[in-house]
Amino acid sequence: MELWQSVILGLVEGITEYLPVSSTGHLLITQRLMGIGLADDKVASDAFAISIQGGAIAAVMGLYYKHVWQMFLGLLGKSPDGLQLLLKLIVAFCPAALAALTLEKWIKGHLFGIHPIIFAWFVGGVIILLVSRWKRNNPRAENSKSLADLTWRMALVIGLLQCVAMWPGTSRSLMTIVGGILVGLRPKEAVEFSFLLGVMTLGAATAKDTLEYGPLMLQTFGLSNLLVGFLASTFSAALAVKWLVTYLQKHGMGIFGWYRIAVAIIAACLVGFGILTERRPEPTEAPSVSEID
């Protein structure tokens, strides 16, 4: 892997991780177009793609350090609100963690391919457009709840919806943001809870892959590529997060629905013309991690 490829992968990861467009789908397609992950480096490249999520995690922890610090104080018994937020994030995290432990090998063997991702992109786009239309047609259903109003049941609903994002191409951010909006959170608070839940979910996945495949990644790609990918991911994720929060406060999610549908059509055309090749890993390859898209 060349350094410029690490930069591109880091930028793609950072930009798409917290937008409702599927970072896994974008990374897989980008890797295929650059000829990465098609041969003996398949396991290492999958682990690399997940490990650079650490940059996106660092960006959110920096931008939302007040919530992170509040939860830390909660652990020390100095912030009841911080402890409540942390416990509700754990409740939301548990369904995906349990599902990942039981379904990881099956998902790796059947869903990590271009065709399932294209399908998920298209269906996710339609879902966004339907939710946006419902919001326009039901102005009285204006969301008013803050993170302080989040109940255990609401957190569990968001967590169950996050499980759907185990299908590559679905988007963890899509399911958790939509879930937050559907249970009554204001868009800004739904985004914040989604991002904080992402720190926990992606952090677990990144740590697992780094510990398990760290030596292989270093041997295959080198430390410089990992660092460059991490930094590119951190920088682009910070910009994407700040933009998304501002954008959703003024506009709806409709643009992401049309984007997903357009990307699905373009990817399908690339497959049809033979530019993108389908290569599904065998179940025994189960490369990396309990990945939540």
Residue-wise pLDDT for 195-217, tens only, equals 999 999 888 888 887 888 888 88
* pLDDT (tens digit per residue) in 26-65: 988 898 888 876 655 677 777 787 778 889 999 999 999 9
For residue 230, with 0-12 CB atoms within 10 Å meaning exposed, 13-18 middle and 19 or more buried, which class applies? buried
Confidence label for 282 from pLDDT (cuts 50, 70 and 90): very low
**Cα 288 to Cα 207: distance, rounded to the nearest angstrom:** 11
The span from the CA of 113 to the CA of 190, in Å, is 30
**Amino acid identity, position 242:** K
What is the per-residue pLDDT for 283? 42
Which tens digit of pLDDT belongs to each residue from 217-235?
888 888 898 899 999 999 9
| Structure tokens belonging to residue 92 | 């939301």
Rounded Cα–Cα distance for residues 7 and 85 (Å): 35
Distinct helix (H) and strand (E) counts, the chain: 12, 0
d(CA 154, CA 152): 5
pLDDT score of 278 more than 80: no
Give the mean pLDDT of the chain. 85
- Mean pLDDT, to the nearest integer, of 157-170? 90
Residues 184-198: pLDDT tens digits? 888 889 999 999 999
How far apart are the C-alpha atoms of 62 and 211, rounded to whole Å?
23
Nearest partner of 33 among 10, 8, 15, judged by Cα: 8
Residues 6+ apart with CB under 8 A from 88: 150, 152, 155
Burial 103-133 (b: 16+ CB within 10 A, else e): ebeebbbebbbbebbbbbbbbbbebbbebbe
Quick one: pLDDT at residue 15? 94
279's tokens: 């290569």
Q: Which pLDDT belongs to residue 285? A: 42
Inform me whether the pLDDT recorded for 281 exceeds 60.
Answer: no
| Total count of residues recorded for the chain | 293
What is the predicted pLDDT for the residue at 286? 38
State the burial class of residue 40 (Cβ atoms within 10 Å of its Cβ: 0-12, 13-18, 19+).
exposed
pLDDT of 103: 79
Judged against a pLDDT cut of 50, whether residue 280 lies above it is answered with: no
pLDDT for res 90: 96
Q: Tell me the per-residue pLDDT of 113-149, one tens digit each, with 9 for 90 and over.
A: 788 899 999 999 999 999 888 877 776 666 678 888 8
Give the angle subtended at the CA of 166 by the CAs of 106 and 164, to the nearest 5°: 120
Question: Which is more confidently placed, 86 or 140?
Answer: 86
Residue 189: Cβ within 10 Å count: 20
Which pair of structure tokens corresponds to residue 17? 């991780």
Domains in the chain: boundaries: 3-285
Lowest pLDDT segment from 159-163, 174-178, 186-190, 208-212: 208-212
pLDDT at 82 over 50: yes
Rounded Cα distance between 8 and 228, Å, is: 10
In the chain, the percentage of residues whose pLDDT exceeds 90 is 47
pLDDT, one tens digit per residue, over 61-79 is 999 999 999 999 999 999 9
